[in-house]
Structures are given as C-alpha cells and as structure tokens.
Amino acid sequence: MVIGLKSCRCLKTHRVLQHLRYIYASSSYVPSVQNAPFNEVYSCNKRIQELGKQGRLEDARKLFDEMFYKDSGTWNSMINGYVQTGRINEARSLFDSCVIKNVRTWTSIVTAYAKYGMIYEARKLFDEMPERNVVSWNAMINGYVQNRDLVSARCLFDEMPEREVSSWNTLITGYTHSSQMNEASELFEKMEDRNLVTWMVMISGYVHVGDCQKGWELFVKMHYDGVLPDQSVFVVSLSAITGLNDPELIERLRTLTIKTSYEEDVVVGTAILNAYTRTGKLNSAFKFFETMPERNEYSWTTIISAFSRDGRLEDAIALYDRVSEHSVASQTAMLSAYAQNGRVYEARLLFDVIPNPNVITWNAMIAGYAQNGMFKEASNMFIRMPVQNTESWAALISAFAQKGQSEEALLLLSELHRSGMVPSHSCFTSALLACANLGALEKGRQLHTLTVKAGCQFNPHVGNGLISMYAKCRNMENVSQVFKTMRTKDIVSWNSLISGLSQNYMLDDARRCFEKMPKRDVVSWTSMISAYAQAGHGDLALQLFLDMLASGIKPNSSTVTGLLVTCGTFGATKLGRQIHNLIFKLGLDIDTFVGNSLITMYFKCGCKDGFWVFEEMDERDIVTWNALLIGCAQNGFGMDTLEIFEQMKAGGVRPDQASFLGVLFACSHAGLIDEGRFHFNSMKVDYGIMPNEGHYACMVDLLGRAGHLHEAEVLIEDMPIEPDSVVWAALLGACRIHRNVELGRRVAERLFQTEPHKSGNYILLSNIYASLGMWGEVKKVRMLMKDRGVTKEPGISWIQTKNKLLSFSNGDKTHDQIQEVYKTLKEFRGRLREAGYVPDTNFVLHDVEEEQKEDTLLYHSEKLAIAYGLLNSPHGTPIQIMKNLRICGDCHCFTKFLSKVTQREIVIRDGKRFHHFQDGLCSCGDYW
C-alpha cells in the first residue's frame, strides 16, 4: 500500500511537470524543474504576476486553474491581477473560494474595494479579518483618505495597535491634500520618527495652500535637524521659494544642492531654472541654463516659456532652434509662445506638423485661440480633440471667462458636468469669475453647492473665487461665511475679503481685516490704498502708502496707479509729482500702465506735463493715445486733440470707441462743428464703429451749443439705440444757453420721468425760466422739487494749499480767514470794475434787488477759493481750483479779469471741463 501510494504521488508530480513544460514551451522563460513541485509553484506564481501586469488575465487564469499545487502566493497573485485591472467581482469570487487565505489575501481585497470607492465593503471585510498587520491597517486608512473621509481615517488611525512611519505619512498626506494643514501639522509634531517622505509631504502641503513661508521654514528646520534633502524635497522647496518670490533664497538653496551633489541632477536643476524664471530673474535663469551639465525636454521648455512670458519671443525662437531633437513638449512650449504673443498663425502651423500631439498640446492650441479672442476656432479645436480631459475644459472655460464671455463659460461648465466628468479646481474658479462678471448670484450659489459635492470647497483657490463672486454679487453674509469656514486662509484669501468689503463700501470692516492679517504683501496694501482712493479718502490712502514704505514693502505698478488716481481726482499736482519721482526711483517708469496713469493724472490736474510723459514713453498702446486725446479734450486743447488723432492714425494705431469719444468731446468744447460732424460719420463709415450714448451726447452738445437745436433734436430722434438721460441732458443744457423755453420744457419733462430725483435737471429748467424773468415758473419748479423730495446739490469748490485740501460753499462763513477772503474779494471787485468787469446778474436765479444779486455773485464758492489762494500762496504762482458744478458765466468773466490784474495763472476744473485763465483769456475761448 505504501509503495502504491508513493507511485501514485510520483505519477501526479510527473504529470504536473509535464504540464508546466507544456505551458512554458511557447514562452522565452523556462523554469527550473529541480526541487519540484515547490520551485515550479514559485515560477508559476511569478508568471501569473507577469501576465497580470500585461493585462493577460485570461492566460493567467488558465495557468492558475491548471496548476495542481497552489500556495497562498498563487492565490494572491491571481487576486492581485484582477484587482490591478479593476475586475473586483472576479477578485472577490476568487477570494471567497480561497481556502488558504492569509493577511495579504484579505488586505488585497480591502485595498481593491477602497481603491474603487467601495469603502463600505472594504470596512466590512476589514472588520471580518481574523488577523491584521500594520499593512492591513494602513490599507484601510489609505482607503478612507482616498475617499476623502478623513474623520473615519483619523478614528482608525487612533485605534491602531502599532504604527510605522507610512501610517503617519498616509494620514498627513490626506490632510494636506484636503488643505487641512493645522491637522497635518498636529500629527507631524507628534511623530517620533520621520522620513524624507514626511518632510516632502508637509512642505508640499504648505505650498499647495499658498503658505510658502511655512513651507520654507519647514525646509530650514529639516536642514537644522540634520536631515539631508533628496530630489523630491529639493523640488518642492524650490516651489516654496517661487511662491515667496525671493531670488536670494534660490542662491541659498543652490549652495546646499552643490554640497549634496544634487545641482547636477537634471530634475533639481530644472526646478532651480524654473524658480529663477518665476521670480523674474530671467538673466540669471539663462546663465544657469547655459551651465547645466545635463538638460532634458523640461529644461528647454522652461526657458523657452520664460522668454515668451517676458515678451522676448525672438529669444524664445532662437532657443527653440537650438534644441537638437524636438519633442512634443518643446514643440508645445513654442506653440504656446507664439500664441501668447499674438502670432496664432505660426502656432497653428507648428501644431499641424506635430505627428502625435498629446492632450497638453491640444489644450495649448485651444488656449492660444481663446486668449486671442478666436473663440470659434478654439471651440472647433476642442470638438476635434481625440481625448478631452478636465484641463481641456478648463482652458476653454477660463478663456471665455477672462475675455468677458461669461455666459458661454457657464454653458461650457454645464456641458462638462453633464458629461459625467468632475470639474477641476481651475474650472470652478473660472466659472465663479464668470458668475461674478454677470452678477449671477443664484448661479453662483449652485456652483457653490457643486464644489461641496465635488469636495473642492476647501481648496483655497476655489474658496477665494467664492469670496470674490459673493462680494461682486453684494452678498456679504456669504462672503463672511465662506471666509470663516475656510480651513486654510492664505494671503490671497485675506486680500479677497478686503477687496470684497471695499467694493461694498464697508471700508471700516476692510481696515479691521487688514489690521488682523497675520502677514501682508504688496497686494494687501494696494487693495486697501485703492479702496481709500476710490472712496475719495485721499488723505488716508496717502498715509497708508507712507506706512507701507515704512514697513519695507516695495510698491508695484498697481499701488502707484491707485495713488495717481487719487491725485487726479483731487487735483493734487504737487503730490502727483512726488509720486512721479518715486516711480522713477522704483524703476516703474517703463511700465506702460503706469505711464498711462501719469498722463491721465497730469491732465486731470490741468497740467501740461501729460504731453511730456507721453513723449518719454518707450511703448504706447491704444490706452496711451486715448489718455492723451481725452486729456487734451478736457483741458480745452481742441485743435491739439485733432492733430494728435491724426498722428495716432498715421502711426498705424486703429482708433476705438474711446478715441472717438475724446475727439468728439474736444470738438464739442471748442465749437468745431464741421470737424465734429466729419469724425462722427467717419467712425461709422471708415471704421465700422457704432456710436454709443456718449458719442451722441457729444454731438448733441456740439450742435446745441452752436444753436442748432432742431438738428440736435432730430439726431436724438433718429438714434438707432435708446437715448439715455445724458443725451437728453445735453440738449437741455443747450436750451439753457439759448433760452429756448418750449424745447427746454419738453426735454425736462422727459428727464423728470426717467430721473425724477436728479436735481440738475430741475435746476437747468429753472435757470431757463429765471434767465427770462419767468419767476412764477421758477417757483413752480421749486415746489415740484419740494414735493418730490429733491434737494439742490450745493456748489462746492476745493483748493489745495500747504498739503491741505480746503472746501468752500456759496456764501461760506465757516473758515478762519473768511473775513479776509471777503475783504479781498470786495477790493478786487472794485479794481476789476475799473478794468471793464461788469457783474452779470442774470446768473442770480432769485427775484431780488440788483445790489443783492451782485453780493450773491461775489461770494460764489469758486471766487472764495480763488481769494483764499491769493492770500495763502506766493505772488506769481498758479492757483488751481476744483468745483463740483459747472462754473457760472459771471465767475468765468470775473476770473478772466482777475488773471490779468494779478498776473496769475488760474486753473478751474468744473464739473464739465478745465478752464485755464491767463492774461485775461481762457483756454475755452469763452465757448463752454
């Protein structure tokens, strides 16, 4: 019996060996047959693993089924093959039939369920495990982390009987990916043993949430702890430096890479190169690039893209031509460079010669079309894509949103959502921008809900987008709620909150948030300075600017342009010049945006230095020319405006709507009727630009002032668009000049319906009646204003002396020097009478005695401000006044005579334009 049994076993072993030899006959691998059957089982297990990795599961299963002897490794190999290819049901079926399960077998199925989102099934199986090791616990925790259930992951982590470094790293990674850096930091501090992965995950987490300062500080701590960085740590630390925009830190890190022999590592070298380019050190980047001992395709694409972003396209092309063998990556970089610089045709030519463009290349071409406003081409390219990913959608959605095509951007997001793909963070932030542009609060709320479902609501970029969207939609309650619930508030979050509060006129709240900020950057300061400037608090804006300089923060172009707007608004020429000097010291004078703001500021201050700034600018855009045109027009330089317009066209700059608005404004205020008609027709016929309400208002004003009231009325009636109140008010103003009661009454009645609470319309009609002595009608208008609760805007004039801005109202008696001011005016009235001045009492709109009318005229706000200026400024220096309303005819005449008698230049900026008085003449030619 014993001999027979032994013979039987040998026969079976022989059959197994024969079968194995048959299986491997067609394979290049022939396993050894020594020590059968265990050596053959090992070989079979290895073959099953290989077939599984190749996706040949049927061949693997055939070998599995024909194996006479199977150990736990056999079962695990076959189960893992199913798991790796997503065939979970077959893996589970095999698991259930396995009679020799071990911890690894159980862990494989738990991992599979967790990987494919079946977290409930994973946990159920985990709880049924007869025994667990640390790998099993890690698998279940990792499953929770992958499915964004960090609460359950933490509970399981706390229950672990023993932990290894990977256990801690898994949970820390989950927290960092969810932007929960406080929780990640808490675990990090509790760890007794850390490895390089731990440090890399934590530094990367801080970079991810935008707190690059903490990321860098953690790297420094790691270095002081004696831990030598590896390739991954160097790369992520360079990302932190890039976020800090501190080139000096790059040099410090380079020293360490040299000591650790990592600078010659191509991956680390490319990261250093990228850090240089992203911190504005393009020359240093190029110098480093030239010394790199090894370069890969990413090194080339990094430097090519950097030159392109800096506007140095020819240098980018020269570098591209040096690439020995063009990869898809380098071709894509060059394609993007062409598109970013407006050369879309060359970009498309390059795209068409790429044999197998990848999805990144397709996305670059789509973005290129969209960035250049070629939305039809971008959409066609998108449809043609063989495979679209979320970045494809994001490129198109972002371009539409950035270019103001907000409705289209939101429609694209809806299509993306319907396709079953989960929108990326970039898709959400672009769509939120579109909602903000449209003021679409309800759609914004729906997006907010979708971000929660997608688990993106805690991403700092999405959170900042939500803050901006709710702020633009004037829903401050949700702004506060989003900010409070953000797990990580980076500096952008604080800046978004301050900007939102400022936009909604909550300046005190904005300032309190600004003071609470843990750290401020130039954007923080600029946001607050701009908020004060736009609200008319120029003194607070200036003081904050000085505080900013004292804190060591260097202003940028946005900072100084915000201050220049303030100077222009208040006519603060002296302060504007001081800021101009600072601009030179900061090296911002070459910035076109800053140059444009300087031109506008000087002209708004009534200063001709705007011409000088224009001449000194190396680069000019359409905004530059328009700033010059509008500035000339506002200052009454009508013929200069027309000459500049011709220069602009001769230089190849195509005029736009703003250009023609400046030209027509100049014609209107200089009485250039024929020129105005010509340019109004030219914009339609020669340039295909349809006039808007502003252009029509200028033409009505031009015709009306010249006395062509009927032609002006016909022009309004024939408008292809609905005339707004500005157009009708221009006609009413002309009726006042020419005392046309009948037309004035009709126009006023129309304005009373559209703007029942605007006092200016009532005042204009009342002035028409008063100029004709129709005091009964004047009384009716005043009663109508009273019944409707309309109050007249008081005339106020401002003058700046000795860095103080003082205001005067009509008949003002509140100033310390008011008695001296009154005395000065009376003295000058006598002297001016001798020179030929006669008070024009027609501008006193009350039925009172002539002497009383003359006294009333004498104490108009602009006369009070001028007298104050004469008393408090050196003899011969110019006097500059600002007034909220249009200067009256008597004040205009009085100031002309005063400029001659005092030999002073007097500049008055009223509610319509500038008047430059000198030697008894005004720049407006008495036509205003």
Q: How far is 433 from 212, CA to CA, in rounded Å?
A: 25
Q: How far is 463 from 469, CA to CA, in rounded Å?
A: 10
Residue 6 predicted with pLDDT over 50:
no
The sheet that has 804-809: what strands, in order across it? 804-809, 796-801, 879-883, 906-909, 914-918, 921-922
Q: Which of 695, 742, 684 is nearest to 723 (CA)?
A: 695
Q: Residue 916 in 3-state DSSP?
A: strand
Sequence-ordered list of residues with C-beta below 8 angstroms from that of 491, at least 6 positions apart, any chain: 210, 517, 519, 520, 521, 523, 524
| Strand blocks (E) in 19-161 | none
- If one compares 93 and 831, the residue with the highest pLDDT of the two is 831
- At position 403, the amino acid (one-letter code) is K
Which pLDDT score, from 0 to 100, does residue 201 have? 92
Q: At what angle do helices 491-503 and 522-534 cross, to 10 degrees?
A: 0
Q: What Å distances lie between residue 445 and 300, 451, 469, 484, 601, CA to CA?
A: 43, 10, 9, 17, 40
Give the mean pLDDT of 539-552: 84
Residue tagged 């068409």 (tokens): 352
- Tell me the Ramachandran region of residue 796: left when phi exceeds 0, alpha when psi lies from -120 to 50, beta otherwise: beta
Which pLDDT score, from 0 to 100, does residue 503 have? 79
Q: Residue 799 in 3-state DSSP?
A: strand
Q: How far is 629 from 648, CA to CA, in rounded Å?
A: 10
Q: Which of 495, 488, 463, 483 is nearest to 212 (CA)?
A: 488
CATH number for 194-295: choose from 1.20.120, 3.30.70, 1.25.40, 3.40.50.
1.25.40
- At position 412, the amino acid (one-letter code) is L
Using an 8 Å Cβ cutoff, are 835 and 897 in contact?
yes
Mean predicted lDDT score pLDDT of the chain: 83
- Tell me the Ramachandran region of residue 922: left when phi exceeds 0, alpha when psi lies from -120 to 50, beta otherwise: beta
Residue 216 predicted with pLDDT over 80:
yes
What digits encode the pLDDT tens for the residues 610-619? Answer: 999 999 888 8
Q: What Å distances lie between residue 585 and 87, 151, 400, 798, CA to CA?
A: 67, 54, 38, 31
Which pLDDT score, from 0 to 100, does residue 488 have? 66
Per the omega criterion (within 30 degrees of 0), is the bond before 37 cis? yes
Give the mean pLDDT of 643-653: 91
Nearest 10 degrees: Cα torsion 272, 278, 284, 290: 60
Using an 8 Å Cβ cutoff, are 411 and 430 in contact?
no
Beta bridge partners of 909: 882, 914
Longest dimension (CA), the chain: 151
Q: At what angle do helices 460-472 and 425-438 cross, to 10 degrees?
A: 10
Which pLDDT score, from 0 to 100, does residue 847 have? 44
Residue 408 predicted with pLDDT over 50:
yes
Pairing mode, strands 914-918 and 921-922: antiparallel
Residue 479 predicted with pLDDT over 60:
yes
Q: How far is 272 from 279, CA to CA, in rounded Å?
A: 11
What digits encode the pLDDT tens for the residues 372-387? Answer: 878 888 888 888 888 8
Which pLDDT score, from 0 to 100, does residue 33 have? 33
Q: How far is 895 from 907, CA to CA, in rounded Å?
A: 9
Instruction: Let me know if 836 is exposed, middle or buried by CB neighbors in 10 A (0-12, 13-18, 19+).
Output: exposed
DSSP 817: T
Which pLDDT score, from 0 to 100, does residue 2 have? 36
Instruction: Let me know if 229 is exposed, middle or buried by CB neighbors in 10 A (0-12, 13-18, 19+).
Output: buried
Most confidently predicted of 174-178, 192-196, 491-495, 589-593: 192-196
Q: Residue 223 in 3-state DSSP?
A: helix
3-state secondary structure string across 226-249: CCCCCHHHHHHHHHHHHHHCCHHH
Per-residue tokens: 69: 């002897």
Residue tagged 């998108």 (tokens): 382
Q: How far is 856 from 542, CA to CA, in rounded Å?
A: 37
Using an 8 Å Cβ cutoff, are 731 and 713 in contact?
yes
Give the mean pLDDT of 760-785: 85
Residue 17 predicted with pLDDT over 60:
no
Residue 15 predicted with pLDDT over 70:
no
What digits encode the pLDDT tens for the residues 307-363? Answer: 888 878 888 899 899 988 888 888 999 998 888 888 888 889 999 998 888 888 998
Is-same-fold flag (194-295; 692-793)? yes
Residue ranges of the domains in the chain?
194-295, 389-488, 692-793, 796-922
Which pLDDT score, from 0 to 100, does residue 268 have? 92
Residue 220's pLDDT band (boundaries 50, 70, 90)?
very high
Handedness of CA 472, 477, 482, 484 (dihedral sign): positive
Residue 24's pLDDT band (boundaries 50, 70, 90)?
very low
Backbone angles phi, psi at 809, to 5 degrees: -110, 165
Which pLDDT score, from 0 to 100, does residue 7 have? 37
Which pLDDT score, from 0 to 100, does residue 845 have? 52
What digits encode the pLDDT tens for the residues 711-748? Answer: 999 999 888 888 888 888 888 888 988 889 889 898 88
Which pLDDT score, from 0 to 100, does residue 456 have? 72
Per-residue tokens: 534: 């736009």
> What's the first-to-final CA gap in the chain, in angstroms?
129
Q: Is the pTM of this model over 0.85?
A: no
Using an 8 Å Cβ cutoff, are 697 and 667 in contact?
no
DSSP 843: G
Give the mean pLDDT of 149-172: 88
Percent of the chain having pLDDT more than 90? 15
Q: What Å distances lie between residue 576 and 531, 581, 607, 663, 874, CA to CA?
A: 18, 9, 11, 26, 20
Which pLDDT score, from 0 to 100, does residue 852 have? 62
Residue tagged 């609460």 (tokens): 151
Backbone angles phi, psi at 917, to 5 degrees: -95, 130
Q: How far is 102 from 106, CA to CA, in rounded Å?
A: 7
Residue 9 predicted with pLDDT over 70:
no
Q: Residue 551 in 3-state DSSP?
A: coil
Give the mean pLDDT of 261-275: 90
Residue 407's pLDDT band (boundaries 50, 70, 90)?
confident
CA 212 to chain centre: 20
Residue 25 predicted with pLDDT over 70:
no
Q: How far is 638 from 671, CA to CA, in rounded Å?
A: 9
Q: Which of 846, 850, 858, 855 is nearest to 895 (CA)?
A: 858
Residue 881 predicted with pLDDT over 80:
yes
Q: How far is 467 from 435, CA to CA, in rounded Å?
A: 12
Which pLDDT score, from 0 to 100, does residue 433 have? 87
Residue 134 predicted with pLDDT over 80:
yes
Q: What is the CATH number of domain 692-793?
A: 1.25.40
Using an 8 Å Cβ cutoff, are 620 and 587 in contact?
no
Residue 673 predicted with pLDDT over 50:
yes
Residue tagged 């009987």 (tokens): 161
Backbone angles phi, psi at 70, to 5 degrees: -130, 135
Per-residue tokens: 648: 């602009």
Residue 34 predicted with pLDDT over 70:
no
Backbone angles phi, psi at 801, to 5 degrees: -135, 135
